[in-house]
Structure 1
């Protein structure tokens, strides 16, 4: 064997080993940190140096506060008062712990935008079996070639990369986080005009997870992420329209499948526009399909960069604004939602930057996401247009469903700082009951043929 041939073979072996290392799950030693120096889901268990972020002690327990018969949560921190309030006047004092988008909100609404900052509580917890699923993911799950899908994930199903090595893995943790299994919720969406006037759109959402569909065949379950059905119940002009989505773990190899039932036409149609930057349902042009849930869908159109970890004031433990005693009119104000009702805390977040790939299309040329280390929920987002101008700022008002051990949102909002308008979705304060978990579902309920009956007014 010639020296040249030997060198070429060694180089090829080195490259293959490097590629394998990039795609490999973390080592056993790294996975062993989960539940030790790291929380079971991968956050740093220790607090920060000055104690303003405490150590994680297991999160909120069931019974942390009274729960109504309709399932609405009480506030475990009701007696607390803000430590301080950030305003446009004192912004410079706190801007090192605020994102560019958060600072822009103060500049856009200097007279009304505030952030009441409270004592930090690390309230997140999930059931033991979900913690174990995250540990299994850490040891087995890898990114498919190109990073747009997951391999060896179906044994765990949650938190694909609790010890992330790059920005794309952080985003996959948000996509694959625990949502409580099968659920049903009645929520409202609003898109207030610049003067504050709005009309509510009412939705009934149903979500089914693969493990929650006992009649789902193994071949169909292998690449399934979740099944989603959304029915518009009001106003009358939209009532009866239904959206159905089948989301996959590898949406490039097996793209998202979506259908819409139009009640007026009484027809079911495929809906390929329900993806990427297609318009969101009844959103008045204020959000894209992939803005829903702060970010969803295939990540293939962006290059993802892990900027790092930082401390940030983010919406957290927002029990008060989600209570049934708070009316929608109390929340929805001109320019932005009522910040006086919001609660902010200092938490560690992962910062991820997404840059649109050359040749790809999306109305957002660049995006930034700030992801809570304890729950893997995106708490704050920033979206830039093709000129590089900051366009939309999102925030999700995080809270912990302590009875069910599920990290959730009170609602999410997306603010267009150019037009002075925003969209808020997920509120259910005035509905008859809160989110229902443990819903029994079948595959037949999430098929195109079932949409017609679901859309009966």
Structure 2
């Protein structure tokens, strides 16, 4: 937090610098924390009260975390207001995406959406709110939208008052995630009958403001550093992926390396980008599908469709419970919707269309981004024929102990072959996510991969 708190001073200095080219005017930025939440959502609820006012989100005392870091569910006693099924689907279509509707039609016997009362729980530390103020008046898109200018003083939420679709997506990619973290997670790709073999990962994520030994030159264009080691099954155990993500991936493309435990060799991995195959995903997701969308946005034209009210996964504490086994969640066709929680929230709708002459297996993408947390909650992915191919959803929740929005897991459903990939499951692991860890650039170098990959 010491590194983050420096942002408060940086904000004060930025207000005194008359030569700064503002992304929005100081008058517009003054809405943050007033009519808008500190991160840019509308503070007021909707007209009928089904979306309440934002009143600060969940505080750190909203519940208790157990000795392993798993959170108590502050809404455990609540029951659904109603449940959407194929039988009553038409009644609720107005507040569903095309992808959500397609899931009901693909799995009419089993797919459902339990809808609960809405709680606007998203919150972040005060210093992150100050960072958003810095960003609002300073940060600009450069390189055709493929990079950010005047962003290193803030590091988070470059466009809390977005003017276009790409600015919304940059807010998702640069959102606060609780700082450096260490986690053990599981990914699964169930067969059509529900059978699955879990793949176990140990992962580390570090951010420039949490790496004191990162040089200023390297930090200037750095977004994050990611290391992922496969621990099981045995055929994959010991393989390690290392990624250096940059803010401007055109000027300085993503750098990735793979350590192959069988060959005991480290190699560059340029395929870990765009529509390159996702790690151990059985061909069910691309590299840029992880975290709903990541990486360089340069191959698409981005359009801000607007803002709408929609039922999205929210406050899914139950799905992160250590009382659940992975087999309780992973079912044939889709994850267990009996355990899911949906609420009515306002989302930004963004459409990405593949540019002429560019290549990606997805010709069009549509994203629905929570206004309070800037997390992509739902995605739709279309093939080259314009047909809806895959539907993604991120089971959002607020980690009140760490003051950061996260998810229980994310899933990407293939409507054509009836399979899906679920990533980020933690229920059976020894610990949930550990936030605020120490990180050194020395741990995120190709030379460090061999040590990380020792079986």
Same fold (TM over 0.5): yes
**Structure number with larger C-alpha Rg:** 1
- Partners of 2:203 and 2:87 in 1: CA distance: 41
Contact 2:315 2:398 in 1 (8 A): yes
Match status 1:333 vs 2:352: no
In the alignment, the residues of structure 2 paired with residue 418 and residue 74 of structure 1 have an alpha-carbon distance, to the nearest angstrom, of 37
Deviation of the 1:331 alpha carbon: 0.1
Is 1:37–2:13 an aligned residue pair? no
What's the CA shift for 1:65? 1.6
Q: Which residue of 2 aligns with 1:456?
A: 454
Identify the match of residue 165 of structure 1 among 145, 159, 163: 163
Match of 2:256 among 255, 258, 273: 258
Within 1, Cα distance between the matches of 2:185 and 2:407? 12
Offset of 1:211 from its aligned partner? 1.0
CA distance in 2, matches of 1:204, 1:158: 25
Superimposed CA distance per residue, residues 3-42 of structure 1 (whole angstroms, 9 cap, x where no aligned partner): xxxxxxxxxxxxxxxxxxxx95001111000000000000
SS at match of 1:146: helix
**Alpha-carbon distance in structure 1 between the residues aligned to 2:288 and 2:409:** 16
Aligned to 1:375: 373
Tell me which residue corresponds to 1:3: none
Match of 1:420 among 418, 421, 443: 418
Instruction: Count residues with an aligned counterpart.
Output: 435
Counterpart residue number, 1:397: 395
Q: Report the counterpart of residue 64 of structure 1 in structure 2.
A: 62
C-alpha displacement of 1:66: 2.2
Please show how residues 116-265 of structure 1 align to structure 2 within 5 Å.
116-265=114-263
- The aligned runs of 1:16-95 (5 Å cut-off) are 25-95=23-93
For 2:143 and 2:190, locate their aligned partners in 1 and report how far apart those are by CA, in whole Å. 43
Return the offset for 1:404: 1.1
Ranges in structure 1 where 5+ consecutive residues have no aligned partner: 1-22
2: CA distance between counterparts of 1:35 and 1:441? Answer: 32
Mapping of residues 298-309 of structure 1, within 5 Å: 298-309=296-307
Paired with 1:67 and 1:206, the residues of 2 have a C-alpha distance of 21
Give the distance between the partners of 1:145 and 1:25, measured in 2 at CA. 15
SS in 2 for 1:168: helix
Q: Which residue of 2 aligns with 1:269?
A: 267
CA distance in 2, matches of 1:190, 1:335: 12
- Runs of 4+ off more than 6 Å: none
Q: 2:311·2:342 contact (CA, 8 Å) conserved in 1?
A: yes
TM-score (norm 1): 0.95
Give the structure 1 partner of residue 8 of structure 2.
none
Structure 1: distance between partners of 2:429 and 2:100:
30
Q: Secondary structure at the match of 2:143?
A: coil
Matching residue within 348, 351, 354 for 2:352: 354
Offset, 1:347: 0.1
- Give, in angstroms, the shift of residue 63 of structure 1: 2.0
Once residues 78 and 145 of structure 1 are traced to their aligned partners in structure 2, the CA distance between those partners, rounded to angstroms, is 47
Q: Partners in 2 of 1:24 and 1:309 — Cα distance? A: 24
Structure 2 unaligned residues grouped into runs of 5+: 1-20
CA contact under 8 A between 2:22 and 2:136: conserved in structure 1? no
Q: Distance in 1 between matches of 2:277 and 2:233?
A: 19
CA-atom RMSD in angstroms: 0.6
